[in-house]
Amino acid sequence: MTETKADTGFIHVFESGGDPARKPLLLLHGTGGDERDLLALGRSVAPGASLLSPRGKVLEGAAPRFFRRLAEGVFDEADLRRRTHELADFIVDARSRYGLPAPIAVGFSNGANVAASLLLLRPEALAGAALLRAMPPFRDPPSADLSGKPVLLLSGLLDPIVPAADSERLAALLASEGAAVEHRSLPAGHGLSQADLSLLTGWLSRV
């Protein structure tokens, strides 16, 4: 069953899965997306998993995002921190409402950046994260205990938005905090390729 609700503070869709062995997915869209953007991807890469997909509450023009930015690649870090805690609180409420274990975040672009921020600020909110085209969310990152937490980082070698050095820096940061990081750089741009989906499917089947 799919439903859109706003009474938790986030407009979101929850889709109950049929496979209780699968960890639920927290789907986090990119700039301009909404709560339905990644549902088909979630069903494809993790068949039978429950899907929880909120809409970002910040508008850039008419484009929903999860936090403000000052320019391309320059984040409003005060807003990012506040929105990250707001999103983590939503996850806690949604887990209680729907009877879910901690989810694995699957975030794309802006959604991947807020997922990385969740790992650093509220690591208990997630069982792991797949970060698709992410960059480091903080100039001076907080310390976090990510011991053994699985993280998949998929970056594009031709990505005009996220430089390769940023992806490598994020992978190194999360690994230094104890996460079990798998980082793959693909011959792709900022958009997702079939190789991304194949790697994501395989990773989700193992975590």
**Catalytic residue numbers, as ranges:** 109, 159, 190
Beta bridge partner(s), residue 25? 51, 104
Strands 51-54 and 25-28 come out as parallel
CB neighbourhood size of 58 (10 A): 17
Record the tokens describing residue 40, joined without a space: 């088909």
Contacts 24+ apart (CB under 8 A), 84-90: 84/114, 84/117, 84/118, 84/121, 84/122, 85/121, 85/122, 86/9, 86/57, 87/10, 87/54, 87/114, 87/118, 87/125, 88/118, 88/121, 88/122, 88/125, 89/9, 90/8, 90/9, 90/10, 90/12, 90/54
C-alpha 31: how far from its chain's center? Answer: 13
